């Protein structure tokens, strides 16, 4: 996961002169923004109240209202997080304010959109959920101007991260017996979607045509919310880029411990024991009084690296996500889903024990399906397949098998810089840079025909899907709908576009066989 080292505000310092100040009236009050190159940008708009103090580890509450005109020219605070270890030696978070009053969003819209009247003039809406292992990142780092320039209203939002966003403790659970628990990050995204439904028409967007899309942990959240009964009516299309929950193999629960997978409540008890050693039975008030910096420090020291994923809580997620898809309990909406060709770039700089593999399957069985690989190569390939390739295609198959429109892709494109660096494939998150403007990716030269063609292709497919629930459209290479059962056509996104009729292969079929056995054995629900 790579993030910009400069904030959007700094990027604007070298941008062309801004036009007259745009202004819109929201349910909360009026807000002004900035206009640049035909795009209106409104930043730092709160969509929920402060989540600090007594509101920590509670469902998000209604956003504040204000009098006068709120200044929306600058990003709002980002949610508490540790410095990004993958930011190239620089801490990009230093360019932003940070705190628990962080549930804010940014809106990018064509300048003429807010002038439209009536349903006919409303544009498709796209709501972006950033990645970062649900531990780091912010919607503020993604400039949505390229997408807005193609005729959509683009929203980027923040959600609570780390143990502030994914947390449970028996005392907190007992205090709120009727409230959603644990998956606070998902609750925040749902709150953002409700804000969009109420306010997006002011920016020219259609509240009845919303596409939820995300990458990495943002993709995990997107696919999880497709399986949530609380998502009904909040979005009509979904795009999952490089990530779905892994509940089949690793079913995480709010209060149920499993071998090798402690419940979120157990994790919370361990944190409390470390940070409140003199309080064997801490109260919710004592837990909420802990400085957020101490919680983040504990998280980084005590929790293993990797993503924090939604847990099965009985409310937001009543059952494991993959099981919900298998049973047809997900939202019956069009879906695009895919990976990059080198997802294992996430693990390229780590030495990981091969025991990670043999905890999941017998050694003889693994070696039969992954012959001739040295330990490190085996671990990396196994993690790529079980973390991305197999579960993504499992979700695609399940969605298509129930008759819901599905399109599957693999992002294969290598920029000249990636080729020069010797990348064996498109790295995890490389696709983001063709959809958004990111200040730390100035090595992408869109003056080159191949790079601009790649951007045009990505923007074309994504925007067409947002408009019509189908990525196909004028001047775009044909993209066949996924047929299910692992044998559909995968669109290989590159210049030129290619197609692959069967990317499952024996290894993917092996994993899908394992998944079926796990579900048949009764993966706990």
Judge residue 329's burial from the number of C-beta atoms within 10 Å of its C-beta, 0-12 exposed, 13-18 middle, 19 or more buried: middle
Contacts of 98 (CB under 8 A, 6+ apart): 77, 78, 79, 80, 81
Give the pLDDT score at 209.
Answer: 98
When pLDDT is averaged across residues 77-102 and rounded to a whole number, the result is: 84
For residue 406, give the nearest of 395, 414, 415, 417 by alpha carbon: 395
In a domain, residue 492? The reply is yes
Could you read off the pLDDT of 115-137 as tens digits, one per residue?
Answer: 544 444 599 999 999 999 999 99
CATH code assigned at 59: 3.40.50.1820
Cα distances from 492 to residues 111, 205, 280, 411, 510, in angstroms, run: 34, 31, 55, 6, 23
Is 439 one of the catalytic residues?
Answer: no
223 is catalytic: no
Domain span including residue 425:
8-520
What percentage of the chain exceeds 70 in pLDDT? 91
* Separation in Å, CA 341 to CA 5, 302, 376, 414: 26, 32, 18, 10
- Which residue, 124, 264, 259, 256, is CA-closest to 186? 264
With H, G, I as helix, E, B as strand and everything else as coil, classify residue 187.
helix
3-class secondary-structure state, position 158: coil
Q: Is residue 219 part of a domain?
A: yes
User: In total, how many domains does the chain have?
Assistant: 1
Q: What is the mean pLDDT of the chain?
A: 91
What is the Cα–Cα distance from 483 to 406, expressed in whole angstroms?
8
CA distances to 238, 243, 407, 409 from 333, in Å? 7, 18, 12, 17
Task: List, for residues 1-45, the tens digit of each pLDDT value.
Answer: 333 333 334 333 344 444 579 999 999 999 999 999 999 999 999
Residue 148 lies in a domain: yes
pTM metric for this prediction:
0.94
Residue 299 in contact with residue 264, Cβ under 8 Å? no
CA dist., res. 493 & res. 480, Å (int): 13
One of 130, 247, 399, 428 is an active-site residue; which one? 428
pLDDT of residue 4: 38
Decide if 261 is inside a domain: yes
Asked if the structure places residue 3 within a domain, the reply is no
369 is catalytic: no
Average pLDDT over residues 256-269: 92
Does 1 reside within a domain? no
Catalytic option among 322, 343, 384, 451: 343
210-250 pLDDT, tens digit each: 999 999 999 999 999 999 999 999 999 999 999 999 888 88
Task: Tell me 513's DSSP state.
Answer: H
| Catalytic entry in 133, 145, 216, 217 | 216
Listed ranges 184-198, 246-260, 482-496; the one with the highest mean pLDDT: 184-198
Residue 525 placed within a domain? no
2, part of any domain: no
* 429-441 pLDDT per residue, tens: 999 999 999 654 4
Q: Is 156 helix (H, G, I), strand (E, B) or coil?
A: strand
């Amino acid at each position: 996961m790579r993030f910009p080292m400069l904030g959007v505000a700094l990027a604007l310092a070298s941008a062309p002169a801004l036009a007259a100040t745009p202004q819109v009236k929201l349910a909360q009050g009026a807000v002004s923004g900035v206009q640049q190159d035909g795009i209106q940008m409104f930043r730092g708009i709160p969509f929920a109240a402060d989540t600090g103090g007594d509101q920590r580890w509670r469902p998000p509450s209604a956003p504040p209202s204000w009098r006068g005109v709120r200044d929306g020219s600058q990003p709002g605070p980002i949610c508490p997080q540790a410095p990004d270890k993958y930011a190239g030696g620089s801490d990009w978070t230093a360019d932003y304010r940070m705190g628990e009053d962080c549930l804010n969003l940014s809106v990018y819209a064509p300048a003429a959109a807010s002038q439209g009247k009536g349903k006919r003039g409303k544009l498709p809406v796209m709501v972006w959920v950033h990645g970062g292992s649900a531990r780091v990142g912010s919607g503020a780092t993604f400039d949505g101007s390229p997408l807005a320039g193609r005729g959509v209203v683009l929203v980027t939002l923040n959600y609570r991260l780390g143990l502030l966003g994914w947390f449970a403790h028996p005392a907190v659970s007992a205090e709120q017996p009727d409230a959603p628990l644990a998956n606070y990050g998902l609750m925040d995204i749902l709150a953002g979607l409700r804000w969009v439904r109420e306010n997006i028409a002011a920016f020219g967007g259609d509240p009845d045509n919303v596409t939820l899309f995300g990458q990495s942990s943002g993709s995990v959240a997107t696919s999880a919310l497709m399986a949530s009964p609380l998502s009904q009516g909040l979005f009509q299309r979904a795009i999952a880029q490089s990530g779905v929950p892994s509940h089949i193999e690793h079913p995480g629960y709010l209060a149920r411990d499993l071998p090798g997978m402690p419940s979120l409540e157990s994790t919370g008890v361990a944190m409390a024991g470390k940070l409140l050693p003199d309080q064997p039975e801490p109260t919710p008030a004592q837990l909420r009084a802990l400085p957020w910096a101490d919680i983040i420090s504990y998280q980084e020291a005590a929790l293993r690296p990797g993503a924090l994923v939604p847990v099965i809580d009985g409310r937001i997620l009543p059952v494991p996500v993959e099981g919900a898809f298998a049973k047809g309990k997900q939202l019956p909406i069009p879906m695009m889903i895919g990976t990059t060709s080198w997802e294992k770039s996430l693990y390229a700089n780590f030495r990981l024990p091969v025991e990670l593999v043999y905890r999941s399957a017998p050694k003889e069985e693994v070696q039969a399906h992954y012959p001739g690989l040295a330990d490190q190569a085996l671990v990396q390939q196994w993690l790529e397949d079980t973390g991305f390739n197999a579960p993504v295609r499992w979700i695609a198959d399940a969605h298509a098998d129930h008759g819901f429109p599905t399109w599957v892709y693999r992002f294969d494109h290598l920029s000249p810089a990636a080729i020069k660096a010797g990348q064996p494939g498109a790295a995890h998150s490389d696709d983001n840079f063709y959809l958004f403007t990111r200040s730390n990716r100035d090595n992408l030269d869109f003056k080159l025909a191949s790079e601009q063609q790649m951007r045009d292709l990505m923007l074309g497919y994504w925007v067409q899907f947002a408009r019509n629930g189908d990525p196909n459209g004028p001047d775009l290479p044909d993209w066949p709908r996924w047929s299910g059962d692992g044998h559909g056509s995968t669109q290989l996104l590159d210049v030129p576009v290619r197609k692959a009729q069967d990317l499952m292969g024996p290894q993917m079929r092996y994993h899908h066989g394992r998944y079926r056995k796990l579900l048949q054995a009764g993966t706990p629900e």
